[in-house]
Structure 1
Amino acid sequence: MTLWLIVPAAGRGSRMQADRPKQYLPLHGRSVLARTLARLHQVFPEAALRLCLDPDDAYFDPDDVPFSEWQRVEGGSERVDSVRRALSTLAGKAADDDWVLVHDAARPCVRREDLAALSQALEHEAIGALLAAPVADTMKRADARGRVSHTEPRDGLWHALTPQAFRYDLLRQALDAALATGTAVTDEASAIEAMGLSPLLVPGGRDNLKITRPEDLILAARILSLQSETDSASQGVEA
């Protein structure tokens, strides 16, 4: 069984107010995209990658891809469009029950142990799973005036993270059905949910942030430094 990775990286990142898409901003001496791909490769070195890029991308460097088997895919205007195009390249190659993991290009801080936990959870899972973190903050519902309408109970609320993993054929059917019915798809899990199915939530670190705004890049750099220090200390104890 082949493990397939899809990394949508065709966004323009306008909210970063930078001179280039956010996935190409420098992070610890490499681009955000390079850091993300390297982290995925550390846990899934044998996976086959589909990298979704803007057709006019002038910043991509193939040397940033550590995977031996990978293919560039023309990204769409929305994330779901990119994922669907990537899935179309797997026709005739992926088995219906192959796992497909979709991960945001702008999440370079996902922990290796969380990736491993997600992989382990899939061993006995029929539908699929996603990394997620329980909501810790008080949640407010706003009204049309931007004022608090009411407080949402946070019991049972989770922040959806990535990777999100689903069987190839199920994910393909779910995204196609969402497109046909006009169902809003904000992530892969939402398309699966629209089919009446319930993906498994796998607890992941809250430091698996998605770089969206300028301050997120600073925070990501600090997170990577702390993760590196923790790994070094752990290796020292083992030695």
Structure 2
Amino acid sequence: MIPDQSFTAVVPAAGIGSRMAADIPKQYLPLGGRTLLEQSLEPLLNHPAIGRIIVATAELDPWFERLAIARHPQVLRVNGGRERADSVLNALAHVETDWVLVHDAARPCLHRADLDAVLAAGRQPQGALLACRVRDTMKRGDGRGSINNSVSRDELWHALTPQCFATAPLQQALSASLAAGAVITDEASAMEWAGFHPRLVEGRADNIKITRPEDLGLAGFFLQQMNESKI
């Protein structure tokens, strides 16, 4: 059993989501009567193992403070950085627990069972992340719009969030990899760069990340299904 409030959650939310073609950053777009960010934070706020949530927003973000969640006693806002890794690293400076999980601000469809599973698996030296197996045939392009070759999907996974790690190793891995100029796309990639082998925890494929406008409608459908299943 995971001790209460033994994790801190970090949510990088400093991006603008340019592919959404919206007038405001995508994390503040409406979804199911709330903002996308609020929907993504709700499962974290409702979990007893998570005592604090640190949201890293753009320094001059005018939208976050308008949300009721900004005044929630468990929520702390800090300044984010230019890239995701910079935002996470800034937030880690405020983490006081030994364990941390990082969740995307644009993943609103996180199920409690998946959150339970990754929290449990993350309390070990290598850390853990939610992921789902690749189902489609994979093609590698040639850079000119044509197929170069087919890629076996065996042991290929889509990396999801949350991702859970011991706080100090993650902080060190992010700092060192950024200093070395490594390409860091998520926290697991920083840990891999540092020599760790995070555990894959198979999660639900409906834990989608909102990237394009059509994703909002799909997420709204998934959220409706999740809410109906609780009744």
Category of TM-score, reference length = shorter chain: over 0.9
In the aligned structure 2, how far is the partner of 1:101 from the partner of 1:122?
8
* Structure 2 partner of 1:80: 85
Instruction: Specify the code of the residue in structure 2 equivalent to 1:152.
Output: V
State yes or no: 1:42 paired with 2:19: no
Instruction: Specify the code of the residue in structure 1 equivalent to 2:89.
Output: R
In the aligned structure 2, how far is the partner of 1:28 from the partner of 1:143?
40
Within-5 A mapping of 1:138-149 = 138-149=137-148
Which residue of 52, 64, 67 corresponds with 2:69? 64
* Structure 2 partner of 1:189: 188
Structure 2 unmatched runs, 5+? none
State yes or no: 1:7 paired with 2:11: yes
Instruction: Specify the code of the residue in structure 2 equivalent to 1:229.
Output: E
Instruction: Specify the code of the residue in structure 1 equivalent to 2:145.
Output: G
Instruction: Specify the code of the residue in structure 2 equivalent to 1:56.
Output: L
State yes or no: 1:109 paired with 2:109: yes
TM-aligned CA deviation for residue 228 of structure 1: 1.5
Structure 1 unmatched runs, 5+? 233-239
Structure 2 CA distance for partners of 1:64 and 1:217, relative to 1, 3 Å: same
TM-aligned CA deviation for residue 230 of structure 1: 2.1
Q: Which runs of at least 4 in structure 1 moved beyond 3 Å after TM superposition? A: none
* 1:38–1:66 Cα contact (<8 Å) kept: no
Q: TM-score, normalised by structure 1?
A: 0.90
In the aligned structure 2, how far is the partner of 1:40 from the partner of 1:151?
39
Instruction: Specify the code of the residue in structure 2 equivalent to 1:177.
Output: A
* Structure 2 partner of 1:170: 169
Identity %: 50
* Structure 2 partner of 1:205: 204
In the aligned structure 1, how far is the partner of 2:33 from the partner of 2:225?
16
Q: Which moved more, 1:175-184 or 1:201-210?
A: 175-184
Q: What is the DSSP-based 3-state SS (H/G/I as helix, E as strand, rest coil) of the residue aligned with 1:47? A: strand
Q: How many aligned residue pairs are there?
A: 226
Instruction: Specify the code of the residue in structure 2 equivalent to 1:83.
Output: V
Instruction: Specify the code of the residue in structure 1 equivalent to 2:112.
Output: R
In the aligned structure 1, how far is the partner of 2:93 from the partner of 2:125?
22
* 1:37–1:66 Cα contact (<8 Å) kept: no
In the aligned structure 2, how far is the partner of 1:157 from the partner of 1:191?
18
Instruction: Specify the code of the residue in structure 2 equivalent to 1:138.
Output: T
Within-5 A mapping of 1:148-163 = 148-163=147-162
In the aligned structure 1, how far is the partner of 2:104 from the partner of 2:50?
19
In the aligned structure 1, how far is the partner of 2:28 from the partner of 2:131?
25
Instruction: Specify the code of the residue in structure 2 equivalent to 1:80.
Output: A
Q: TM-score, normalised by structure 2?
A: 0.93
Which residue of 27, 50, 66 corresponds with 2:31? 27
Q: Which moved more, 1:178-187 or 1:42-51?
A: 42-51
Instruction: Specify the code of the residue in structure 2 equivalent to 1:89.
Output: H
In the aligned structure 1, how far is the partner of 2:70 from the partner of 2:138?
39
TM-aligned CA deviation for residue 164 of structure 1: 0.5
In the aligned structure 1, how far is the partner of 2:174 from the partner of 2:57?
19
Root mean square deviation, CA, Å: 1.5
In the aligned structure 2, how far is the partner of 1:216 from the partner of 1:225?
14
Q: Which moved more, 1:132-141 or 1:32-41?
A: 32-41
Structure 2 CA distance for partners of 1:166 and 1:67, relative to 1, 3 Å: farther
Q: What is the DSSP-based 3-state SS (H/G/I as helix, E as strand, rest coil) of the residue aligned with 1:166? A: strand
* 2:14–2:80 Cα contact (<8 Å) kept: yes
* 1:49–1:67 Cα contact (<8 Å) kept: no
